[in-house]
Amino acid sequence: MTLALIAALPFLGALLPGLLIRAGRTACATVTGSVTALALALLALQAPAVLRGEVVQTRIEWLPSLGLNANFMLDGLGLLFAGLILGIGLLIILYARFYLSKSDPMGVFYTYLMLFQGAMVGIVLSDNILLLLIFWELTSLSSFLLIGYWKHLPEGRQGARMALAVTGSGGLAMIAGMLILGNIAGSYDLSVILTQKVVIQASGWYLPALILILLGAFTKSAQFPFHFWLPHAMAAPTPVSAYLHSATMVKAGIFLMARMWPVLAGTPEWFWIVTSAGLITMVIGAKIAFFKDDLKALLAFSTVSHLGLITMLLGLGTAKAATVAIFHIINHATFKAALFMSAGIVDHEAHTRDLRRLGGLRHLMPVTFTIAGIAALSMAGIPPFNGFLSKEMMLEEAAHTALGPDWLLPVLATIGALFSVAYSFRFLAHGFLGPVRDDYPHKPHDPGFGLWAAPALLATLVVIIGLAPMASAAWLVDAAASAVTGTAQEVHIKHWHGLYSPALWMSIAAVGGGFAMLAAFPRLRAMWDGTPRPEAKAIFDAIVEPLAAGARALTQALHNGSLTRAIAIATIAITATALWAFNSGTHSPGTREMLAITPVTAIAWGLLMFATLGVALIHRNRLLSLILIGIIGLIISLGFAWLSAPDLALTQITVEVVTVVFMLLALNFLPKETPRESSPVRRIRDAVIAIGAGAGIAGLAYAIMTRNFAFPSISAYHLEQSKPGAGGTNAVNTIIVDFRGYDTFGEIIVLGIAALLIYALAEALLKPGPANDALRAMAATRTGLAGDRHPLLMVMATRFILPVAMMIGVFIFLRGHNLPGGGFVAGLVFAIATVMQYMASGLGWTEARQRIDHHALIGAGVLTAAAAGVGSWLFGAPFLASSYTYVHLWPLEEFELATAAIFDLGVFLCVLGAVLLALNSLSRLARRAGETVSADPYSVDRPEGGN
């Protein structure tokens, strides 16, 4: 369960910042960081096993028959990415504590950050593609919150929407691709899918799955042509940019390609699509970065370029290229996070990120300059820093791979490296070198230790990995590369590849060309500004705006607030689909014989049809409609009893009684008739739709009841297991309290919530106000219509009926596990007995004798039912699993004791409390009509001010 805990910790940690911010910003950051540190420590405890070549797994079965399991695995690749996510995440938490101003809601920021961190950790640890997809979409949603954190900035809101639209669309495509992949492999577990390379690549569905999965990866990692969203995410605070661009959001697509490399790579389709996209992205991103004046924009496009570099390496399809990609993932995470944090420090101190307004900062900010210089030189691929090592290895791989002409890939890779040198040197030269200026928006200086500690640690790692790569990083690269390639890898990282290595001369050309471009920047900038080029944002807006306008028009046309229209559209769509299925399928006559139609059943059916048609024809008269609905409920109850379903008959008749009483109370505050709203043409239309749908349902019911199906009925299982599995002979009750107890638990909670809503509405109506005064006036006109408010005969009868009904309710409750009955029906019987007291003696008399609060009954019911489920856990059984035994107490016969009775008691209490609370709430509205309420059942209550 350790892996599940590691994945869950950030989500649990997201609950804390909102509370702890009241204790201060430092306490909030400390506790938030402690949660991440704990997850990182748990991950470190698993590292030795992973580095030995083992795969740590946690399997939590949910719906194994459907492949829906919460399975987690940790191999070398997962260890690398989880370590980056949690390690850099911890540094970001520290950095954000000192970066965010006092006006920024830090608790909200850390909540969003931890949600995003949890989603990313979930992605890299998932061993089930369906679980991975859930976490994948969570990254899109949580990054939307992070990017739009400064919601007062229009560019922040727009950047968040753009990121969500692009990555969310790619995620939808990826869902389809993953489902296809799981169907090909015969499993949704990644550990199984990764062993099915031959089956997957031989399938005719390989190419569609590949394209759909790559769409998800390319959109998330900002690969061409989806690269435009990433720079617009720079509207987020710098801690967000540093986190998303170094170790998390944009690396999710890279992780996905690396994770699926064993089964998707090695084909021409993979090579051409992935390598081409990566190469184009690397060159385009680097070129754009060179001409950006905003520090974060420059770094954003440099991220795009380096992601393209990694994608290109994965696309080459060789184990060595994949190993180099893994190494560069580590290097890029360290120097890019340090660079973003350095840019944030400059912005924080100088109040600008514009390179045209900077320069000379090395004199004013020497600590920041040292950190940024190390990271920028590493990004440029200058020795002895870590970026140089992976850049040289990349150029070596490019030199020995053909993409069309033999020279094309090496030349393009060199051009990408050249631009990388150019924008890295420009970052330093235009930002930190040169003379000190006197027109800074704010006089810059080095910040306190808290702000530069995190980037300084990352810059230290850049140097350490660069100087001692084998000792500091090779072991992690080996473990991750072995997981990606499926074979053991031993990387040999060195600074010198020989005088005759192509990478050496390609690197020299890149560094020399980068210096030359920086020297010629003014002329190149003029050419760049004068060259027409497509603007990605304008293209995006041109596509999204008409789509959004069309969606709004369609939504307003279909969802105009008319419930009738919505139901009609749904009914027509369902009926048309069913009719198409019927006409396109094959049919055979039913084999079951119909039951004999007796005169009694014919009469009952006729009454049912008469009442149903009557409701449709005279529905405007509310009271007559309610009477007919009561007849319908009664006939249905008799039908259940005739069809040997006494439990359903009991439930139906008791529910019908309570419902009719409630509706009568509600009708007291409504006009006698509903207004005539529909025209004759509309009524004819609705009748045609209703008849068509009704005929379809009737035909379906007839087809099912007259046929024997090949698949086994679930009812047979419940009937067979009712006694041995749940200890009861009443299968209906055992289903409710055992086999599907969790459903029942949810239903009683919903029932309690409904009663509480009725209570809240009644309380709102009891408050003074213009709208409620109108209700008072309307109800007052109905007061005193009956001269005998509390008939003596009814009062005396209910006094006798109450104990008898309660005794019957107890009997029904106790017999429910083996004979028709149970907590639900017993609760309704108790409620009906109490309803009769309201009807006979009135609200005042009943309230004066009320001893138990209805709210408490609902709460006690839910807690009792929950206690029954938790008790199962204590004995190692599933939630709400029941147990039973037989007891013999003299002089009684042997009887059964079942834990399901505790759950049924909770159902009983919740049903009773919900019905009585709703009844009491509706009854109290009578006071709003101006009645005096007496505790004496024999007094005649009259309106206030009456004679």
Show the CA angle centred on residue 889, arms to residues 888 and 892, nearest 5°: 95
Residue 946 above 50 pLDDT? Answer: no
529 or 42, higher pLDDT: 42
Question: Tens digit of pLDDT for each residue in 853-875?
Answer: 888 999 999 999 898 888 877 77
Q: How far apart are CA 360 and CA 225, in angstroms?
A: 37
Cβ proximity of 922 and 662 under 8 Å:
yes
| Tens-digit pLDDT profile for residues 888-922 | 777 767 677 788 888 889 999 999 999 888 888 87
Half-sphere exposure of 675 (CA within 13 A, CB side): 1
Give me the mean pLDDT over the 668-678 stretch: 76
Residue labelled with tokens 């005064």: 773
**pLDDT on residue 30:** 92
Q: What is the pLDDT of residue 620?
A: 84
Of the pLDDT bands very low, low, confident and very high (cuts 50, 70, 90), residue 213 is: very high
- Name the pLDDT band for 923 (thresholds 50, 70, 90): confident
Buried b (16+ CB within 10 A) or exposed e, 64-84: eeebebbbbbbbbbbbbbbbb
- Give the pLDDT confidence of 703-712 residue by residue, as tens digits: 888 887 767 7
Quote the pLDDT of residue 348: 87
Note the pLDDT tens digit of each residue in 564-614.
888 888 899 999 998 898 888 777 787 888 888 888 889 998 999 999 889
Mean pLDDT of 819-826: 88
Would you state the pLDDT for residue 404?
67
User: Quick one: pLDDT at residue 769?
Assistant: 64
Q: Give the confidence band of 214 by pLDDT, cuts at 50, 70, 90.
A: very high
pLDDT above 90 covers what percent of the chain?
27
Mean pLDDT, to the nearest integer, of 616-630? Answer: 87
Q: What's the confidence (pLDDT) of residue 936?
A: 54
Closest CA to 11 of 32, 40, 41: 32
Mapped onto helix, strand or coil, the DSSP state of residue 492 is: coil
Q: What is the average per-residue pLDDT within 31-45?
A: 93
The encoded tokens of residue 165 equal 């639209």
H or E element at residue 742: helix 741-766
- Look at residue 784 in the predicted model and tell me its pLDDT: 45
538 or 99, greater pLDDT: 99
**Average pLDDT, stretch 191-207?**
90
Q: Which residue has the tokens 């009609």?
A: 568
Digit-coded pLDDT (tens) for 218-255: 998 888 888 888 877 777 888 988 888 776 778 889 99
Rounded to whole angstroms, how far apart are CA atoms 249 and 228? 15
Q: Which of 485-494, 536-545, 773-782 bottoms out in mean pLDDT, i.e. has the lowest?
A: 773-782
Mean of the per-residue pLDDT values for the chain?
A: 85
pLDDT average, residue stretch 726-753: 87
CA geometry: angle at 414 spanning 413 and 418, to 5°? 120
β-pair partners for 73: 57
- Read off the pLDDT of residues 760-770 as tens digits, 9 standing for 90 and up: 888 877 776 66
**Mean pLDDT calculated for residue range 752-764:** 86
pLDDT of residue 930: 45
* 84-104 residue pLDDT tens: 999 999 999 999 999 888 888
